[in-house]
Amino acid sequence: MMSGFETIVMYLGMSFIVVVIMLVVSALLGPFRPKPRKATTFECGVPLLDPGHKRYAVKYFLVAVLFLVFDLETVLIYPLAVKYRDLAQLGWGIFIEVFLFVAILLAGLVYAIKKRAIDWE
């Protein structure tokens, strides 16, 4: 199955080359007439008052933490899902295991919602 990954590398290489060519060619083809006004930060027509990098809502970090938990959960269940059909033939044990695993995480989700971790007001 290694041959598949070689072609993927070829594909990635092709994407990389084309992206670089696009950036370089557009930089070479365009005119070059710099003016100080052109390089100012866009601000709906008024002069810039303060820099762009400001403090922003902590909610974004909360979402990132929640994402980590649930994405890891998905990653952990994937191998199980592939083999589920084989394991299911052995009895109900695997279903109960999946049920417990997901139920614990669902409880976590309910807790996060109850704590208003994902309410944006």
Partner 1 sequence: MEDWIIDLIKVVFIWVWCLLIAVVMTWVERRASAMMQDRLGPNRAGPFGLLQPLADGIKLFTKEEIIPEKAKSILYVLGPALFALPAFSAYAVVPFGDKIVLGGKEIILQVADVNIGFLYVLAIGSMGVYGMVVGGWASNNKYSILGGLRATAQLISYEVPLGLALLAVVLLYGTFSLREMVFQQSGTFLGFLPNWGFFKQPLGFILFLVAAYAEASRVPFDLPEAESELVNGYHTEYGGMKLGLYLFGEYVNLGTLSAIIVTIYFGGWQLPYVDMSAFLGPVAYGIASFLVFFLKQAFFLFLFVWVRWTVPRFRYDQLMGLGWKSLIPLCLVNFFITALLVQLTV
Give, as ranges, the residues between 21 and 60 that touch partner 1 (CB under 8 A).
22-23, 25-27, 29-33, 36, 38-44, 48, 51-54, 56, 59-60
Q: How far is the CB of 90 from partner 1 (least distance, A)?
A: 10
Q: Does 92 bind partner 1 (CB under 8 A)?
A: yes
The reply on whether position 121 binds partner 1 by CB under 8 A is: yes
Any contact of residue 99 with partner 1 (CB under 8 A)?
yes
Q: Does 114 bind partner 1 (CB under 8 A)?
A: no
Contact 80, 98 (CB under 8 A): yes
Is position 101 an interface residue for partner 1 (rule: CB under 8 A)? no
Specify whether the CB–CB gap between 105 and 73 falls below 8 A. yes
**Applying CB under 8 A, does 107 fall inside the site for partner 1?**
no
Instruction: Provide CB contacts within 8 A for 95, sequence distance 6+.
Output: 88
How far apart CA 55 and CA 52 sit, in angstroms, is 10
d(CA 67, CA 117): 12
